[in-house]
Amino acid sequence: MAADSRLYPVAIGLQEKYRRCYPQTSATTNENTTIDSWILSNMREVYYWNDKIPASPDTTLAPDVFFDSILNTYNATSNPTGDRFSWIENDASTLTAELSGQTTTTGMEYNLYLRASGSTDVIAQVLYVLPGSPAQLAGIKRGDIISKVNGQALSTTNYSDLLFTGTTFTFGFASVSGTTLVDTDKTISVTATTFQENPVFLDSVYTVGSKKVGYLVYNQFVPGANGSTADEYDAQVDAVFSNFKAQGVTELVLDLRYNPGGYTSSSANLASLIGKGISSSKLYFREEWNSSITPLLQQTYGSSFFVQNFLDKSQNIGSNLSRVFVLTTDHTASASELIINGLRPYMTVTTIGTTTYGKNVGSITITDDSGKIKWGMQPIVFKSYNSAGQSDYATGFTPSIEVDEPINLLPLGDINEAYLSTALGQISGSTANGRLAASSGNTRVALGSSIQRKAGGKSMIRQLKALKF
């Protein structure tokens, strides 16, 4: 590696390619050349498609433009296996905080839809609200429909500016009347603040006949809070499964529908609590790096560098499980898909919901040790495979049972909620396989989601110390 480079954990991806809208500082040609040369040196070493980097790229370009110019850019027609996920930011310290779930936020996530077919009006459907966040304290809840911000109706031309600019918002709401939406007089004002998200959102145990069903809503693979080395969130997941084990859970519903991914270490921790017949001698997943750096990594770190085995966990409930149900949407990505792919050689994994995002590659953060270069970049550096050699989900996992979320959302954990009720129906034997779209399903055209704006959007994070050869 370049002497001044350091590789940190990184989350990666976005629905197409995640880019933060931070203002870029102006720079001289010499400054650009210094930064661009640093980018190029590191990318030629670790980028998964380093053989596609142009031989003589223009190092006078602004760093973000230069970075884009050397990528193996994805194209659905001409380059369908290309790069959709690498990105660069001009503030590496802000990025590392965001990767640990610390952001300036109101504390809610939402999907965006056209209000009606053929309309240019937009609505935001609240998916979940973080406990203790400004939005939760103000009274916003899952299922609320936002139609106005600061007195202006959301539209295809203004929703991005209204929702994603500034820190103080006055939200106006609409209610569902049959199949239409009706604006109300209700308004709620919220001011965004720096907030640390705990990804362990909800856990419950249900009794279905003679069976005990464990349920976990887990919204990001993050081991601990920003700056913490205690891995307190992983410890909370361990405690949840300790409780599942104590209560004799024999069925598991893992709700990853809003989980865009995160640290592979936390993914391995969770998988190790679930897997049947697994141990630290069994492979969870392995990584494939580029052909030029692989021999160096092999020589320096040995073959263990490329593999992640399961962990030996006393809280594992796999011996009591024959299967696991995973609730999914197109927000289910990367480290979440790693759970599905990594467990399927060992037990039946039944997915319920809609097709997952499709991200079987991961990356690392590269920053400058000297501190002279403030940028941080997120290049794709590996592709993942399970113990059966499978990495066949670049277009996502098609659900075993397809369910659409309705426009009227019930609270997460409610046994009548569309996804959870389907899983419980499978467990009780009262629900058939196939497509089970909710009768009041949301047929509106989707425009995107605030979840995509989480650091990396769709992320698989490899924890690394500095690589040295």
pLDDT per residue over 273-326, tens digit each? 999 999 999 999 999 999 999 999 999 999 999 999 999 999 999 999 999 999
**pLDDT above 60 (res 37):** yes
Query: Final residue of a domain: which of 195, 229, 254?
Result: 195
Residue 375 forms part of a structural domain: yes
Shared-domain flag, residues 220 and 243: yes
Shared-domain flag, residues 153 and 218: no
Give the pLDDT confidence of 382-407 residue by residue, as tens digits. Answer: 999 999 999 999 999 999 999 999 99
The confidence band for 434, taking pLDDT boundaries of 50, 70 and 90, is low
**pLDDT above 60 (res 13):** no
**CATH number of the CATH domain containing 439:** 3.90.226.10
Residues in the chain: 469
Q: Point out the least confidently predicted range of 85-94, 175-184, 281-290.
A: 85-94
**CATH number of the CATH domain containing 116:** 2.30.42.10
Domain count, the chain: 2
Report helix, strand or coil for 351: strand
pLDDT at site 10: 27
Shared-domain flag, residues 170 and 209: no
Residue 74 forms part of a structural domain: no
The confidence band for 130, taking pLDDT boundaries of 50, 70 and 90, is very high
Shared-domain flag, residues 288 and 183: no
Q: Tell me, rounded to whole angstroms, the distance of Cα 6 from its chain centroid.
A: 24
Rounded CA separation 49/6 (Å): 20
Shared-domain flag, residues 295 and 391: yes
pLDDT at site 454: 72
Q: Kind and range of the H or E element at 301?
A: helix 294-301
**pLDDT above 70 (res 15):** no
Neighbours of 10 (CB within 10 A): 29
pLDDT at site 102: 80
What is the pTM assigned to this prediction? 0.90
Angle between helices 264-274 and 232-246 (to 10 degrees): 10
Shared-domain flag, residues 113 and 174: yes
Give the pLDDT confidence of 224-282 residue by residue, as tens digits. Answer: 998 888 999 999 999 999 999 999 999 999 999 999 998 899 999 999 999 999 999 99
Rounded CA separation 462/331 (Å): 20
Q: Point out the least confidently predicted range of 124-128, 134-138, 181-185, 359-363.
A: 359-363
Query: Final residue of a domain: which of 170, 195, 220?
Result: 195
Report helix, strand or coil for 450: helix
Shared-domain flag, residues 133 and 206: no
In this prediction, residues 325-337 reach a mean pLDDT of 96
- For 175, the domain range is 105-195
The token duo for 58 is 């223009």
Rounded CA separation 466/296 (Å): 14
Residue 65 forms part of a structural domain: no
